[in-house]
């Protein structure tokens, strides 16, 4: 996508809006965490202002719907990103799940996938998460992150707000508002409230609430040091465009909006802004992590393929992979295990003795 498309980019064209509905964890320094346990406020609420933006490397893939599996063998817990993330159903774990799920109800194979409430073992821990790109506008809890471009696991409450603004129902007759735009999007004032009890209480994290108030005014991205991306002349061009496009957003007549949009697209000022956008996108790419490269599915290494297949073999034999001693030597070798973690840090965690939730701050 180039500068000629960005100003006319329809937020409803995001890949996430154009695929069937479907219902990880990452040790990654580019992932932004808003944990109440890190709050510096007296009331324990984590407050920050962020701007959720398009993925500058591929606008249509600005919201990544990542599917992963949390597995346990005798070495420990590990997590792998499934090819289901890219709508590829050849994932061997998914295939194994189907064999169990559709086995005769009550059989030992069926119990491997069935929930605990159904009397099963629930060995297939499938996880779903949405990730986006953000710029941290202000965070007094982690001031070293101010201005930084990062990746963020999107809470459902914030997703609902974005979804409502960018893909309004036809019945509402409302315009689609590009709240994720780099130069005339909006910001979110976040309030992350912990559940009851202390940090050691399971409810403290499980019942965390995420609220996000969307700004009324447009907010532009900046350089990481907070300085503006545009000079004075460029800012004047943007201001002129925003003044005109806001009138379109407020109009509830779809036909009239279409006419106004066509006129705006032909305006000489809009043509200037397209040229400015070409520069802006390239600048942002220089200090912004690539959402898809970092968090989407990548083919597993041979070591991970072996470990996953071993897990599957034990499950399909009716056994418990956490208790099985049938683990390949390369998995038991700490040096190899660490190299696997380093080489595939975007797809798999280094094994740990037990499952922890320290890197996953969302209650779902």
The pLDDT of 28-46, averaged and rounded, is 94
pLDDT score of 355 = 32
The pLDDT of 4-8, averaged and rounded, is 64
pLDDT score of 8 = 67
With a cut of 60, say whether residue 361 has pLDDT above it.
no
Strand partners, 189: 49, 213
pTM: 0.82
Closest CA to 322 of 136, 56, 75, 13: 75
The pLDDT of 7-35, averaged and rounded, is 66
- Give the percent of the chain with pLDDT over 70: 82
Is 147 inside a domain boundary?
A: yes
With a cut of 90, say whether residue 45 has pLDDT above it.
yes
The pLDDT of 183-198, averaged and rounded, is 94
With a cut of 50, say whether residue 218 has pLDDT above it.
yes
When divided into structural domains, the chain yields a total of 1
| CATH code of the domain covering residue 59 | 3.90.198.10
Is 279 inside a domain boundary?
A: no
pLDDT score of 303 = 95
With a cut of 70, say whether residue 342 has pLDDT above it.
no
Least confident of 101-105, 116-120, 199-203, 346-350: 346-350
Is 269 inside a domain boundary?
A: no
pLDDT score of 188 = 97
Range of the domain at 175: 12-227+295-364
Is 51 inside a domain boundary?
A: yes
With a cut of 80, say whether residue 349 has pLDDT above it.
no
Is 276 inside a domain boundary?
A: no
Is 45 inside a domain boundary?
A: yes
| Cα dihedral 59, 287, 185, 47 sign | positive
SS3 at position 311: helix
With a cut of 60, say whether residue 315 has pLDDT above it.
yes
Is 115 inside a domain boundary?
A: yes
Query: What confidence tens digit (pLDDT) does each residue in 132-185 have?
Result: 999 999 999 999 999 999 999 999 999 999 999 999 999 999 999 999 999 999
What does 325-353 look like in DSSP terms, one character per residue? ----HHHH-HHHHHHHHHHTTTTBPPPBS
Residue 197 pLDDT level (bands cut at 50, 70, 90): confident
| Token digits of residue 321 | 């992979």
Query: What confidence tens digit (pLDDT) does each residue in 277-312 have?
Result: 989 999 999 999 999 999 999 999 999 999 999 999
Is 3 inside a domain boundary?
A: no
């Amino acid at each position: 996508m180039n500068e000629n498309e960005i100003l006319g980019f329809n937020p409803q064209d995001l890949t996430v809006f154009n695929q069937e509905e479907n219902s990880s964890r990452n040790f990654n320094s580019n992932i932004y965490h808003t944990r109440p346990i890190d709050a510096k406020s007296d009331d324990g609420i984590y407050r920050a202002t962020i701007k959720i933006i398009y993925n500058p490397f591929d606008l249509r893939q600005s919201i990544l719907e990542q599917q992963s599996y949390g597995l346990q063998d005798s070495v420990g817990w590990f997590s792998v990103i499934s090819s289901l993330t890219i709508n590829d159903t050849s994932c061997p774990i998914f295939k194994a799940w189907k064999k169990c799920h559709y086995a005769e109800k009550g059989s030992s194979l069926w119990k491997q996938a069935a929930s605990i409430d159904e009397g099963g073992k629930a060995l297939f821990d499938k996880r779903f998460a949405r990730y986006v790109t953000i710029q941290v506008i202000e965070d007094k809890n982690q001031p070293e992150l101010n201005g930084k471009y990062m990746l963020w696991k999107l809470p459902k409450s914030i997703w609902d707000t974005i979804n409502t603004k960018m893909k309004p129902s036809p019945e509402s007759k409302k315009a689609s508002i590009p709240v994720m735009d780099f130069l005339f999007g909006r910001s979110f004032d976040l309030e992350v409230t912990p559940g009851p009890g202390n940090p050691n209480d399971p409810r403290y994290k499980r019942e965390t609430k995420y609220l996000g108030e969307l700004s009324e005014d447009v907010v532009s991205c900046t350089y990481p040091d907070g300085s503006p991306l545009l000079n004075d002349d460029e800012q004047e061009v943007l201001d002129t465009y925003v003044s005109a496009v806001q009138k379109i957003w407020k109009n509830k007549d779809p036909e009239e909006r279409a006419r106004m949009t066509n006129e705006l697209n032909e305006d000489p000022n809009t043509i200037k802004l397209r040229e400015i956008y070409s520069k802006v996108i390239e600048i942002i790419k220089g200090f912004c992590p690539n959402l898809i490269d970092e968090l989407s599915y990548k083919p597993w290494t041979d070591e991970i393929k072996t470990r996953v297949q071993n897990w599957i073999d034990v499950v399909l034999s009716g056994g418990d992979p956490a208790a099985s001693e049938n683990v390949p030597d390369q998995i038991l070798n700490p040096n190899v295990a660490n190299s696997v973690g380093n080489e595939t840090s975007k797809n798999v965690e280094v094994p740990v003795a037990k499952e922890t939730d320290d890197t996953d701050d969302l209650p779902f």
